[in-house]
Amino acid sequence: MSADLAARAAAADAADQLAHLRDRFTLPDGVVYLDGNSLGALPAGVPDRVADVVRHQWGEGLIGSWFGAGWWDAPERIGDRIAALIGAAPGQVVVGDSTSVNVFRALVMAQRLSGRDEIVVDATTFPTDGYIAESAARMTGCTLVAAHPRELTLSDRTAAVLLNHVDFRSGELWDMPALTAAIHDAGAYAVWDLSHSAGALPLALDAHGVDFAVGCTYKYLNGGPGAPAYCYVRADLLPRVEQPLPGWCSHGDPFGMEAGYRPATGATRLRTGTPEIISLLSLDAALDVWDGVDLAAVRAKSLALTTFFIDCVRALVPADRVTVLTPQTRGSQVALACDGAEAVMNALIAAQVVGDYRPPDVLRFGFAPLYLRFADALRAAEIIAKVLA
């Protein structure tokens, strides 16, 4: 059986049109890295770029680099690079702050636009999104309602609905066009968290009429630990949104030092404070790996990799030891339920198969199509079988 799977892996790797992209990353020898849904691998061009930023732009250019090296407009410039990966026209995305801050920003902007008094949050959401939604609801005088994406009940009180595009535990992918349309039918605004989908599959925010979207950049976008997040606002809403965290960098004349606040135009009004220059420019370098990459091909490989991995697990691991939680409609991760999952994951990591664990019993494996091979998926399944034996 392993021989048949090995032949399948070899054939798939030989036919892989994205195989050359692996050379754009620095990967440790002997490690099967299946945690790109938590922290992407290091793009090979990042260290030299960061060294240049520190030694030359900062070390020699000093404060002149704010404009001489293009630091000042980096949030918008890099935002446009991300916009191209999420199906958005330029001028609608700013990079900065964390995903949590941007969730708060988006929810409050949506509520202020609507004037309604209810916020709905995905009941399966990543915990931080829920914490932020609860705080945003309390601060805006709204009622907070938790609902499963399959069971949204909206009313004329609903201001905004916060949804994760991919369930962080199971990997299930929700129907963005259909859910966005349902939210709009209720007169509410859709806020999508793309942290587990951007960089793993094609997105079409503009085409689907998404109102607001946020996401981190350190997962499938490989921006590095703690890399700044991004915030998208649909172009026709930008002139009307009221930034809940106004700062000097979103002021219409930031160097005028006026006592009163006047919002900047365009996506710049989504900024707050001084940009995180070193991490921003590290992200900028990381995004070079996407040059010339077809996201449809990325999605096709993602589905093929995860399907093959599931086939390997079902062929090699006794059925009474693990349950595949991830449905066919999925992002780019596979989740397995397993007794003693935390200890199992620790043993896998010791055997150089790196995934992660989520309580109470979930083993998560994130498949980053730019640098993973089908042989990696087979090796991981073989080691899972060995550990569980």
Dist CA 129 CA 138 (whole Å):
14
Catalytic residue, chosen from 25, 33, 104, 126, is 126
| Tokens standing for residue 375 | 């042989």
Annotated active-site residue 193? The verdict is yes
Annotated active-site residue 8? The verdict is no
Whole-number Cα distances in Å, 305 to 35, 136, 155, 182, 338:
14, 39, 41, 32, 21
Catalytic residue, chosen from 25, 168, 189, 218, is 218
Catalytic residue, chosen from 24, 116, 219, 234, is 219
Assess contact for 243 and 43: CB atoms under 8 A.
no
244 class by beta-carbon count within 10 Å (0-12 exposed, 13-18 middle, 19+ buried): middle
Angle between helices 341-350 and 374-388 (to 10 degrees): 120
Annotated active-site residue 218? The verdict is yes
Annotated active-site residue 126? The verdict is yes
Catalytic residue, chosen from 105, 364, 373, 379, is 364
**How would you classify the pairing of strands 322-324 and 333-338?**
antiparallel
Assess contact for 47 and 251: CB atoms under 8 A.
no
Annotated active-site residue 220? The verdict is no
Catalytic residue, chosen from 16, 97, 193, 361, is 193
DSSP states of 13-33: HHH-TTGGGGGGEE--TT-EE
DSSP 293: -
Positions annotated as catalytic residues are 126, 193, 218-219, 364
